[in-house]
Amino acid sequence: MFSLTYLSAAFLGLLCAIVSLLLTIWWRQQSFRWPFVLLACLVASPLLSWWSGLVFEVADYRAGCDGLCPGYRGAPVSFFHGQTAGGDFLPAFFAVNCLVYLLLLLAWSAMARSLMRRVGANAQNSFWSRALLGLLLVVSPLALSPFYLPPPQAHVRGDPQRIAINAQREVYLYHHLAAAPIARVGLVDVRPRRDGQPGMRVCLRLYTYFYLPVGYMYLDMTPEGVHSNAGGVLPRDGSCWE
């Protein structure tokens, strides 16, 4: 997930717009149905952008901050900042996020068309073979997205970052407690342990396939912050600090 300044967001938006224009020209040369493809992508991109603001959320956090660091919502470009990630809506960043999704949709549809044409050129391939390939091209990138897209998480530095990295290495100790297979974890916060023992508690948000959140994992670290000696999994409506 990207945390951008206005200048870097403007550069990213311009780059996405140029590449999207080139992909639109490619579609126009390839198919007379290009207006429908472009319209579908233009409609889907803001919907996906807004959906990302509902699913990908990082609450205000304390690790490495004087007080609270503002959380954010939205991916890959965040467009809600502060006050449990719902304080300030940033229209310019939302527009850039829409352009990112537009670029991804146009690029993916171009790749899917090329593969489908290759399959269709072989007369031995049945309709069901082509339909199955089309379904895989739609489902697979979405299902496997946690493995190639960075998770939304707190941006920490210094010792909290070291402790968080060590905690993520020991997710395997408690992953069997989750309600679904864990495909990715994102850092929520690093705070003192609640049991009064020396050391820190690391809270991680758990994601399964399709980047669906399935709950939280807490790991109570040793005073050195190297290993976890206690931990568990909480449901989606749970809290690592209560």
**Could you tell me if 42 and 135 lie in one domain?**
yes
Please report the pLDDT score of residue 103 as a whole number.
Answer: 97
Instruction: Print the domain residue range for 223.
Output: 158-234
Please report the pLDDT score of residue 84 as a whole number.
Answer: 57
For residues 37, 42, 48, 49, the Cα torsion angle rounded to the nearest 10 degrees is 150
Helix locations, 122-209, DSSP H: 127-143, 158-168
Number of separate domains in the chain? 2
**Could you tell me if 22 and 89 lie in one domain?**
yes
**Could you tell me if 166 and 136 lie in one domain?**
no
**Could you tell me if 104 and 189 lie in one domain?**
no
Q: Is the pLDDT of residue 25 over 90?
A: yes
What strands lie across the sheet with 72-73, from one edge to the other?
57-58, 72-73, 80-81, 88-89
Kindly indicate the confidence band of residue 180, based on its pLDDT and cuts at 50, 70 and 90.
Answer: very high
Task: Return the bridge partners of 69, or none.
Answer: 61
**Could you tell me if 83 and 22 lie in one domain?**
yes
In a domain, 168, yes or no: yes
Q: Is the pLDDT of residue 224 over 90?
A: yes
Please report the pLDDT score of residue 231 as a whole number.
Answer: 96
Alpha carbons 102 and 49: distance in angstroms, whole number: 10
How confident is the model over 227-241, as pLDDT tens digits? 999 999 999 999 999
Tokens (6 digits) for 209? 């396939």
**Could you tell me if 138 and 167 lie in one domain?**
no
In the chain, what percentage of residues exceed pLDDT 90? 62
**Could you tell me if 88 and 167 lie in one domain?**
no
How confident is the model over 205-222, as pLDDT tens digits? 999 999 999 999 999 999
In a domain, 1, yes or no: no
Kindly indicate the confidence band of residue 136, based on its pLDDT and cuts at 50, 70 and 90.
Answer: confident
In a domain, 194, yes or no: yes
What strands lie across the sheet with 200-207, from one edge to the other?
184-192, 200-207, 213-221, 228-234
In terms of residues, how long is the chain?
242
How confident is the model over 83-101, as pLDDT tens digits? 554 568 899 999 999 999 9
pTM summary value: 0.84
Identify which has the larger pLDDT, 121 or 190: 190
**Could you tell me if 107 and 222 lie in one domain?**
no
